[in-house]
Amino acid sequence: MEDILTQNFIIATSVADIRHDPDPEAELVTQALMNMPAIAGEASGEWTHVQLTDYSGWIRTSELDFPIVRGVCEGDEGTCGVALPYSVVVTETHTPVYAHAQGDEKLFDIYLSTILPYIDLAHPQRLRIALPGEQEGWIAREAVDIRSNSELYPRKDLSTVIEYAKAFLDIPYLWGGTSWRGIDCSGFVQLCYRMGGNTIPRDADQQYDFLPQSVERQDMQPGDLIFFGSKSITHVGMAISSCEFIHAEGQDFNRVVITSFDPQHADYHARLDSIVWGIKRVR
């Protein structure tokens, strides 16, 4: 992939690591899902610096590809290059992409909120989808929604956000993670709210600054975001009741857990209770 400076690309793998420096041992600052746009900048060896919609960092150049341009024209096999006004959006935490319309041969898994173009909707069980690198695959109908490109993440009821959050219970904590394979605290709430139709920033401190409506502890409601820290914001969770919250916690539990502010509750966590920085309402 020559002369990639400031060109538009997409993420070509299911989940791509984005690192602070062009080094596999460097800090994982975030991850990007398949088909997310990436503007390529400086290159260093096998690495390229990219600007994502919500972050920037270094990615292996092999995990970038040119944008998918495939569509369906009457009478052809999906190769005419006409962009369709609709896409499939993954609505399960994770789902296989199959090699064929039938059978169990799997290419890879893709993850919640991934967007891909479709080629053919005729098969009763699986949809034929376009993949990076001029490839294609098949995905189960029940794992995706077909949505307009003008509203890929429509507003959903707050209960949908909380249902997605609970679907991640016990998923491993991963600093910088953004998927079912491993997720961090701010990536977790960002993803759940994306599926509910709200776009919020990537990092916890950015989320706190972005959300204008503050909430008192006694007024906390399901869906509110709770920010923690003693000297600065270091953690975020999502309220699921007036006293419980769900969060991807990497210090004591290393997974997504439910914790309580009630000292009489079995899941009470005194340290977090003592360092609540503030509570913000998303909607």
183: pLDDT strictly greater than 80: yes
Q: How many whole angstroms separate alpha carbon 18 and alpha carbon 28?
A: 6
Rounded to the nearest 10 degrees, what angle do helices 185-195 and 158-167 cross at?
Answer: 140
4: pLDDT strictly greater than 60: no
Query: What is the predicted pLDDT for the residue at 6?
Result: 58
Confidence of residue 84 (pLDDT cuts 50, 70, 90): confident
Selecting among 73, 80, 94, 185, the annotated active-site residue is 185
For 38-71, the pLDDT digits (tens) are 999 999 999 999 999 999 999 999 999 999 986 5
Q: How many whole angstroms separate alpha carbon 63 and alpha carbon 32?
A: 10
- The mean pLDDT value for 132-147 works out to 96
Whole-angstrom CA distances from 147 to 57, 91, 169 are 30, 11, 27
List, in order, residues 6 or more apart from 253 with CB less than 8 Å away. 173
Confidence of residue 85 (pLDDT cuts 50, 70, 90): confident
215: pLDDT strictly greater than 60: yes
Selecting among 49, 192, 247, 269, the annotated active-site residue is 247
Residues 226, 212 contacting (CB under 8 angstroms): no
Selecting among 80, 100, 123, 235, the annotated active-site residue is 235
Helices (H), 106-215: 158-167, 185-195, 204-210
- The mean pLDDT value for 186-201 works out to 98
- Is 235 catalytic? The answer is yes
- Is 247 catalytic? The answer is yes
190: pLDDT strictly greater than 70: yes
81: pLDDT strictly greater than 60: no
77: pLDDT strictly greater than 60: no
Residue-range domains of the chain with CATH: 8-65 (2.30.30.40), 86-148 (2.30.30.40), 158-281 (3.90.1720.10)
Residues 8, 22 contacting (CB under 8 angstroms): no
| Three-class SS state of 160 | helix
Query: What is the predicted pLDDT for the residue at 76?
Result: 54
Query: What is the predicted pLDDT for the residue at 146?
Result: 96
| Average pLDDT value over all residues in the chain | 94
Residue 31 is classified by DSSP as E
Query: What is the predicted pLDDT for the residue at 120?
Result: 87
